Amino acid sequence: MTKLTGLSLSESIMLTINIHEAKTHLSRLIDQAAKGESFIIAKAGKPLVKVMALTAPEADQVKRLGFMAGQINVPDDFDEMGRDEIEQMFGGDA
């Protein structure tokens, strides 16, 4: 599946490793998971388990987009701000 040589788990969204590779590189994988780099162990290409640090936040603790809702005011003319300057710079007809 995935070669681990020189691979940082942070290079992918979620690394998926087959069981054989996980057994071969278990110590390194555990060290990386403990640093917050979760991964998935699969059998025959089918994901089975997710390995993550015990200190990882639960799904309901993770901050999502919109966490500042109601704290920022966007002007009504936001779409028009700087329109004249942009037209001058790029010569476009808006």
73 alpha-carbon distance from chain centroid: 28
Residue 5 has pLDDT above 90, yes or no: no
Q: Is 62 left (phi over 0), alpha (psi -120 to 50) or beta?
A: beta
Query: Is pTM beyond 0.85 here?
Result: no
> 15 near 9, Cβ under 8 Å?
yes
Range of the domain at 19: 1-54
The residue among 58 and 31 whose pLDDT is bigger is 31
Domain assignment present for 84: no
CATH number of the domain to which 32 belongs: 3.40.1620.10
* 13 is a domain residue: yes
Instruction: Say how many C-beta atoms besides its own lie within 10 A of residue 41's C-beta.
Output: 19
CB 9 within 8 A of CB 25: no
Res. 40: pLDDT tops 70: yes
Q: Which of 37, 8, 42 is nearest to 22 (CA)?
A: 42
Structural domain includes residue 68:
no
* Total domains, the chain: 1
Domain-located, residue 86 = no
